[in-house]
């Protein structure tokens, strides 16, 4: 008996007032589809969006293609899918199912299609049978979420694409996806046992193993319906083409082109011949129906693993070592080249993972060993070291035995694709023939011949991926904004597909056909099988309603099937995201975008990989995690900005209320995308620039001015305290807050009658500048100075206990963080300029600048460099630290003596510090102070300065916060600590009655002093 998990979504419920309300208005739909949209709204319970924003958001995926759909439906259940299919086909509009939209071949782009986004609601784990190692899932379930929920049973779903933290299992079945461990486990078709799919007439097909000529089979084919015709047709085509199937399907671990005619009929364990249409659905890319449920096989999770990274000074030497590596019992053989290493070293988020790679490594092979194959990892790695290093061409090896060290290596490998897309300028290493697969023993020769193709076309490429399976991701570098390189792309594909056939390979070993490779399937499979593919398509889908033009296409409307033009032709050069006609505006900006190649280039760095849709680790994207709205992911915002600067949207649209409210205002400015996005799309910076222009065009609201000048409000509040605090409790205060657009549910900051500056001035320093080990300027940020001075006092006490002289600068002004976040860049610039003038003399005199509030520290470390020109800002930023960062970086804790507290702390870091890799210092410092620390892998708290106070954002802020609250509740720590004022506010406000606000880490360090 299986464990009934139900289909409850993993995510929190959608908060009220999430964006897209405009899109639900039938009056906002594109005129061509008004009737279709209206009928769909009447037929389904899920949302229906047919406006221009929805079209733009779903026009792209992780590929090089772009094509506007008709609109989007978010089905809530199977009945919704059936009704949507019936309505769309009645209107003669094709349909396309979609998961996370991370596909690299254009599988989730459908011109003029009704997109069925299965990731919003149909994401349930319906049943788990641990004994049978089987799970029943809905298609929108993210693979890492599935594996997390299977972990208690010691099981996992074996195929593991690099995008597993956001890609859905249904999408993986549609593409026949796999990943690094296909050497050990194979690919998705081996694990897909049953599929339930809605056909184009709205009927349901249950694909499962059926013994040929059994009573069950005879019962199916005896009926006069679509299902009977499908079974008879598929069986006949397999039997009629037996020799062609044997000859044309290559013997590889990975082959995901075309329909799986070689796998749909097979012998079961009892020796019976079975037909299983589920195998045909795998890799069918939604062309044979909409999958609504699947039963998948599972494998046990090895208790432990180890990694060895072998470094070669020549790429071909690394390739020649691949078949040799397969002679050992390894579970993965992955390759990365020097271009991946270089780009990682230049990336804020990935540099630390590439730093251990030795100089001179032109390529590296990464071998994984697991405890189901090896009892002694060190002995196993010693054996391969002897072969590859002592007696082979590898010149060095990096070994990783801990989970943390292995995770660092895998993060580097999995970031390869989006990292490569971060290359400066318009030429990029684009995916179009990047996952061709050849037998591993032919890999080295294939690479050398591929290099000749590249030389013939005057370009180069980057190399990485699943060498052990013969799947090498090779991405030629082209500029697809030029006609010449668009034609070059097609010519390279022609040559490479010829080369792949010469090496007995497949055009795709992982990413499928989609818009990229469907055109070349006739070359691979020949006339007879190509005809069989078209007959299969027409039998399942007579009108070619389901994602036409993928996997198989028609040469003309009369070719086979009905007299319509769906699925005719497969040359998709006219559907490129960028093309020879693409142009974008490069606006004059207030911030400096030179390092990013300009404003437009930073927007265009988004390649659609969808990393921002992950919700189990790292920082970005908090609003997407809470709402699951595409427009609230970094990718969605980047797509909307790209549409605005390229003329796809009207010129004035970027200043419309809707664009501001839905695209920009819901970005909380956490900066997580600056580090977590592998291409470095810094949406917080883009938002600040656009909001600045918006304020110039449209003016600034009273509330925005209030928040941008929160330091003035706080100074007055502190001067009037405690009266100002009592005033917040008076009847009518909530009404005033509501009129200003401030959420009445929020507890407003209280004001200290004695500021941090007052306290500091009234005390006598214990360490003189002359006798000090070091000297610091403690910057009095607004919140610490006027509302909660205690962390500032603790910082002074800890610093002085370590023999450090502390001063507070009298002439400094607030950093401008609040003004920057609100897009008031003129004010932020003025404050940055003033503070640099004030602080530079201190730095020249040997002082460091220390902050209690992380966001203010990051302001000097990062944003000041965009606001100001010259070396002065760089020097000030280089000498600015968060207080924990300063104490840990300079090993100040060595000068301190701590008592044994025995406390176990839960640490929630600040998203701004995480974005520039400065957050880890606080947890390390707390450990040095004697605490046990559980450092959460948490995202933004959802408060985000003023965001959580804004009435229209309160529900979303709390929904984001609930994700953090759950992590805190699951932590073994006794008390949560957080350096950010916003984070401590959100954690303190988690209950309606309010709660005790967590301390700053520096307070706990002070408390631990002996």
pLDDT digits (tens, 9 = 90+) for 963-985: 999 999 999 999 999 999 999 99
pLDDT tens string 784-818: 999 999 999 999 999 999 999 999 998 999 999 99
pLDDT band at 995 (very low <50, low <70, confident <90, very high): low
pLDDT at residue 5, as a whole number: 34
Answer yes or no: is pLDDT of 713 > 60. yes
- Rounded to whole angstroms, how far apart are CA atoms 936 and 928? 18
State the average pLDDT over residues 523-531.
Answer: 96
pLDDT at residue 9, as a whole number: 30
State the average pLDDT over residues 635-648.
Answer: 96
pLDDT tens string 913-939: 999 989 999 999 999 999 999 999 999
At residue 151, the 3 state secondary structure works out as: helix
Structure-token match 């070291």, residue found: 385
Q: What is the mean pLDDT of the chain?
A: 91
pLDDT at residue 18, as a whole number: 39
Closest CA to 295 of 100, 129, 516: 129
- Rounded to whole angstroms, how far apart are CA atoms 76 and 120? 8
State the average pLDDT over residues 518-529.
Answer: 96
- Return the number of other C-beta atoms located less than 10 Å from residue 870's C-beta: 9
DSSP 689-732: HHHHHHHHHH---HHHHHHHTHHHHHHHHHHHTTHHHHHTTSTT
DSSP 865-918: HHH--SHHHHHHHHTEEEHHHHHHHTTGGGG--B-----EEEE---HHHHHTT-
- Return the number of other C-beta atoms located less than 10 Å from residue 555's C-beta: 12
pLDDT at residue 704, as a whole number: 84
pLDDT at residue 991, as a whole number: 63
pLDDT at residue 994, as a whole number: 53
State the average pLDDT over residues 844-871.
Answer: 96
pLDDT tens string 888-908: 999 998 999 999 889 999 999
pLDDT at residue 695, as a whole number: 93
pLDDT at residue 942, as a whole number: 94
State the average pLDDT over residues 450-477.
Answer: 90
Structure-token match 């006798």, residue found: 771
Answer yes or no: is pLDDT of 26 > 80. no
pLDDT tens string 238-274: 999 999 999 999 999 889 999 999 999 999 999 999 9
State the average pLDDT over residues 435-455.
Answer: 93
Closest CA to 187 of 158, 208, 145: 158
Closest CA to 169 of 249, 100, 268: 100
CA atoms 50, 56, 59, 61: torsion sign: negative
Q: If you average pLDDT over each of 425-429, 558-562, 760-764, 824-828, which comes out highest?
A: 824-828
pLDDT at residue 618, as a whole number: 85
Residue 29: is it exposed, middle or buried by C-beta count within 10 angstroms (0-12/13-18/19+)?
buried
Answer yes or no: is pLDDT of 343 > 70. yes
- pTM attached to this predicted model: 0.91
Answer yes or no: is pLDDT of 631 > 60. yes
% of the chain with per-residue pLDDT over 70: 96
The CA radius of gyration of the chain, in Å to the nearest whole number, is 30
- Rounded to whole angstroms, how far apart are CA atoms 402 and 42? 55
Specify the long-range contacts of residues 357-362, CB closer than 8 Å, at least 24 apart: 357/309, 357/311, 357/398, 358/311, 358/395, 358/396, 360/311, 360/313, 360/395, 361/311, 361/312, 361/313, 361/396, 362/312, 362/313, 362/314, 362/315, 362/318, 362/337, 362/338
Pairing mode of beta strands 804-807, 847-851: unpaired
pLDDT band at 8 (very low <50, low <70, confident <90, very high): very low
pLDDT at residue 10, as a whole number: 31
pLDDT tens string 66-122: 999 999 999 999 999 999 999 999 999 999 999 999 999 999 999 999 999 999 999
């Amino acid at each position: 008996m299986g464990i009934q998990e139900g289909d409850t979504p993993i995510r929190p419920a959608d908060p009220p007032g999430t964006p897209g309300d405009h899109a639900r208005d039938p009056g906002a739909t594109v005129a061509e589809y008004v009737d279709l949209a209206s009928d769909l709204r009447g037929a389904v319970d899920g949302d229906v969006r047919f406006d221009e924003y929805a079209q733009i958001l779903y026009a792209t995926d992780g590929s090089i293609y772009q094509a506007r759909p008709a609109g989007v439906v978010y089905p809530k259940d199977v009945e919704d899918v059936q009704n949507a299919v019936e309505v769309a086909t009645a209107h003669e509009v094709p349909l396309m199912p979609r998961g996370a939209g991370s596909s690299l071949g254009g599988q989730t782009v459908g011109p003029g299609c009704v997109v069925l986004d299965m990731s919003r609601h149909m994401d349930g784990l319906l049943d788990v049978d641990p004994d049978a190692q089987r799970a029943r899932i809905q298609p929108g379930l993210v693979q890492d979420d599935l594996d997390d929920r299977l972990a208690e049973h010691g099981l996992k779903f074996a195929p593991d694409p690099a995008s597993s933290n956001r890609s859905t299992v249904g999408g993986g079945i549609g593409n026949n996806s796999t990943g690094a461990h296909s050497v050990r486990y194979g690919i998705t078709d081996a694990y897909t046992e049953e599929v339930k799919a809605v056909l184009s007439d709205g009927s349901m097909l249950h694909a499962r193993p059926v013994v040929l000529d059994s009573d069950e089979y005879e019962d199916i084919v005896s009926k006069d319906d679509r299902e009977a015709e499908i079974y008879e047709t598929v069986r006949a085509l397999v039997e009629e083409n037996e020799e062609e199937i044997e000859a044309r399907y290559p013997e590889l671990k990975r082959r995901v082109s075309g329909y799986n005619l070689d796998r749909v009929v097979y012998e079961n364990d009892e020796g019976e011949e079975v037909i299983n249409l589920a195998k045909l659905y795998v890799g069918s890319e939604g062309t044979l129906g909409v999958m609504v449920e699947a039963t998948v096989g599972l494998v046990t999770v090895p208790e432990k693993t180890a990694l060895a990274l072998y470094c070669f000074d020549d790429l071909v030497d690394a390739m020649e070592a691949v078949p040799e590596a397969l002679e050992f019992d390894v579970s993965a053989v992955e390759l990365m080249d020097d271009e991946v290493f270089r780009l990682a070293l230049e990336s804020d988020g990935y540099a630390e993972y590439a730093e251990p790679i030795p100089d001179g490594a032109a390529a590296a092979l990464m071998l994984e060993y697991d405890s189901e194959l090896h009892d002694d990892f060190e002995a196993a790695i010693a054996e391969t070291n002897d072969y590859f290093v002592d007696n082979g061409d590898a010149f060095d090896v990096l070994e990783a035995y801990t989970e943390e060290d292995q995770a660092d290596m895998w993060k580097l490998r999995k970031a390869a694709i989006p990292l490569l897309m971060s290359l400066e300028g318009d030429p990029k290493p684009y995916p179009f023939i990047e996952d061709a697969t050849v037998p591993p023993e032919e890999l080295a020769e294939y690479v050398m011949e591929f290099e000749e193709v590249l030389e013939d076309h005057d370009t180069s490429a980057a190399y990485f991926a699943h060498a052990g399976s013969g799947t090498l991701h090779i991405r030629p570098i082209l500029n697809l904004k030029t006609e010449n390189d668009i034609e070059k792309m097609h010519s390279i594909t022609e040559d490479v597909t010829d080369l792949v056939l010469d090496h007995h390979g497949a055009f795709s070993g992982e990413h499928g056909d989609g818009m990229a490779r469907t055109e070349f399937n006739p070359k691979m499979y020949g006339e007879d099988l190509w005809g069989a593919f078209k007959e299969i398509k027409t039998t399942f889908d007579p009108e070619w309603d389901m994602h036409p033009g993928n996997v198989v296409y028609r040469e003309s409307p009369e070719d086979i099937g009905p007299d319509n033009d769906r699925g005719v032709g497969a040359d998709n050069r006219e559907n490129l995201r960028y093309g020879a006609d693409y142009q974008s505006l490069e606006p004059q900006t207030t911030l400096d975008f030179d390092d990013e190649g300009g404003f437009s280039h930073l927007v265009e760095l988004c390649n659609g990989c969808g990393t921002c849709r992950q919700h189990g680790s790292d920082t970005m994207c908090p609003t997407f995690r809470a709402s699951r709205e595409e427009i609230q992911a970094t990718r969605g915002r980047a797509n909307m900005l790209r549409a605005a600067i390229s003329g796809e949207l009207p010129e004035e649209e970027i200043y419309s209320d809707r664009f501001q409210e839905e695209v920009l205002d819901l970005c909380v400015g956490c900066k997580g995308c600056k580090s977590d996005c592998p291409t470095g799309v810094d949406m917080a910076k883009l938002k600040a620039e656009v909001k600045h222009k918006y304020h110039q065009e449209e003016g600034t609201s009273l509330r925005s001015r209030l928040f941008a000048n929160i330091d003035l409000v706080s100074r007055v509040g502190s001067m009037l305290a405690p009266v100002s605090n009592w005033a917040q409790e008076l009847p009518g205060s909530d009404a005033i807050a509501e009129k200003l657009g401030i959420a009445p549910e929020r507890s407003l900051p209280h004001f200290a009658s004695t500021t941090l500056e007052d306290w500091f001035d009234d005390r006598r320093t214990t360490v003189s500048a002359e006798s000090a080990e070091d000297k610091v300027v403690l910057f009095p940020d607004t919140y610490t100075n006027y509302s909660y001075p205690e962390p500032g006092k603790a910082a002074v006490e800890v610093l002085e206990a370590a023999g450090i002289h502390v001063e507070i600068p009298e002439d400094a002004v607030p950093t401008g963080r609040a003004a920057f976040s609100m897009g008031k860049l003129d004010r932020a610039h003025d404050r940055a300029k003033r503070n640099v003038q004030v602080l530079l003399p201190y730095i020249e005199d040997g002082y460091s600048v220390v902050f209690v509030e992380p966001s203010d520290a990051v302001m000097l470390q990062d944003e000041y460099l965009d606001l100001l020109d010259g070396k002065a800002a760089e020097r000030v930023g280089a000498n600015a630290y968060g207080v924990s960062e300063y104490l840990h970086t300079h090993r100040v804790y060595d000068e301190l003596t701590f008592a044994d507290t025995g406390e176990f702390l839960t640490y929630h870091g600040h998203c701004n510090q995480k974005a520039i890799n400065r957050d880890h210092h606080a947890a390390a410092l707390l450990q040095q102070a004697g605490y046990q620390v559980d450092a959460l892998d948490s995202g933004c708290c959802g408060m985000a300065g003023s965001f959580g106070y804004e009435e229209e954002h309160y529900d979303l802020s709390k929904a984001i916060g609930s994700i953090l609250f759950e992590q805190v509740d699951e932590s073994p720590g006794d008390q949560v600590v957080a350096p950010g004022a916003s984070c401590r506010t959100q954690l303190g406000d988690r209950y309606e009655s309010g709660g005790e606000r967590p301390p700053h880490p520096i307070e706990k360090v002070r408390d631990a002093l002996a």
